[in-house]
């Protein structure tokens, strides 16, 4: 009876057994593949067996990859942020606002690590993940901007909005928060270097770190090597988990 009682106390004292056995993720891991740099930043994330087993990055991580054909116009890198998963559900996979904020942190960590002064940022989570955050678009845009304000020391952050609705949302939020000269708004496509003039663009991705639909699909198509980048990312993730 005493053993059973102790077990019950243990179960009810912790929100998740996964947290008991989670390892702190490695902060940074880099891999060179065919002369191109692939890198993961996973600061303030947890390394869980359930995530590792399906070959995904920790929720809140960010991954740097080459930009393929986009280099021809001046876009050198893509940073993929991972606030949640697309193909798996559950408490370790569902998109969360914390995951979004942490993925922004890790995108900035990658930028700092690689000496990238400018980021072109889409409306992260403003599409298919919006319902998971249980927020209005305006509240989400406000949270994203505040997170960048709090965490970023980069010279330039350009929010690239696609469509009139998202543009008006960011206009309103930026007028309200007045983030300063380092922040600007550029309606259009993040795959058009002339729109934002940044050498690095952010892809609103997922824990699988694969090009999908929407803006992610547009970016993938523009690279003209989306399958090769996806394959390189899979190798990066596999070798990341081999690190101790």
The torsion region of residue 34 among left (phi > 0), alpha (psi -120 to 50) and beta comes to left
| Tokens linked to 30 | 């880099």
Q: Do 118 and 44 form a contact (C-beta atoms < 8 A)?
A: no
Amino acid 239: pLDDT: 96
Architecture of the domain delimited by 23-242:
3-Layer(aba) Sandwich (3.40)
CA distances from 104 to 35, 168, 207 (A): 26, 22, 14
Amino acid 26: pLDDT: 73
C-alpha–C-alpha distance, residues 191 and 117, integer Å: 18
C-alpha–C-alpha distance, residues 231 and 120, integer Å: 24
Domain layout of the chain by residue ranges: 23-242
From first to last of the 244 residues of the chain, give the pLDDT tens digit.
544 444 444 444 444 444 444 466 678 999 999 999 999 999 999 989 999 999 999 999 999 999 999 999 999 999 999 999 999 999 999 999 999 999 999 999 999 999 999 999 999 988 777 888 889 999 999 999 999 999 988 889 999 999 999 999 999 999 999 999 999 999 999 999 999 999 999 999 999 999 988 889 999 999 999 999 999 999 999 999 998 6
| Tokens linked to 14 | 């912790």
**Whose structure tokens read 């960048």?**
148
Q: What is the DSSP letter of 24?
A: E
Neighbours of 237 (CB within 10 A): 22
pTM over cut 0.85: yes
């Amino acid at each position: 009876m005493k053993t059973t009682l102790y077990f019950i106390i243990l179960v009810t004292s912790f929100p998740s057994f996964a947290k008991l056995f989670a390892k702190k993720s490695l902060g940074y891991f880099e891999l060179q593949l065919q002369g191109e740099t692939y890198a993961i930043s996973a600061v303030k994330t947890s390394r869980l067996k359930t995530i590792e087993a399906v070959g995904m990055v920790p929720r809140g991580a960010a991954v740097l990859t080459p930009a393929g054909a986009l280099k021809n116009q001046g876009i050198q890198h893509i940073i993929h942020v991972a606030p949640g998963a697309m193909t798996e559900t559950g408490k370790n996979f569902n998109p969360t606002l914390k995951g979004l904020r942490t993925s922004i942190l890790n995108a900035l960590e990658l930028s700092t690590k690689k000496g990238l002064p400018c980021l072109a940022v889409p409306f992260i989570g403003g599409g298919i993940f919006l319902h998971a955050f249980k927020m209005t678009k305006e509240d989400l845009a406000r949270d994203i901007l505040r997170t960048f304000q709090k965490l970023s020391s980069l010279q330039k952050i350009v929010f690239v909005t696609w469509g009139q609705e998202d543009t008006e949302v960011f206009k309103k939020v930026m007028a309200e928060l007045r983030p300063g000269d380092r922040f600007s708004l550029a309606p259009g496509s993040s795959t058009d270097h002339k729109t934002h003039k940044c050498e690095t663009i952010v892809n609103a991705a997922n824990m699988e770190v694969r090009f999908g639909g929407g803006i992610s699909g547009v970016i993938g198509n523009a690279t003209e090597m989306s399958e090769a980048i996806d394959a390189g990312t899979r190798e990066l993730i596999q070798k990341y988990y081999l690190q101790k």
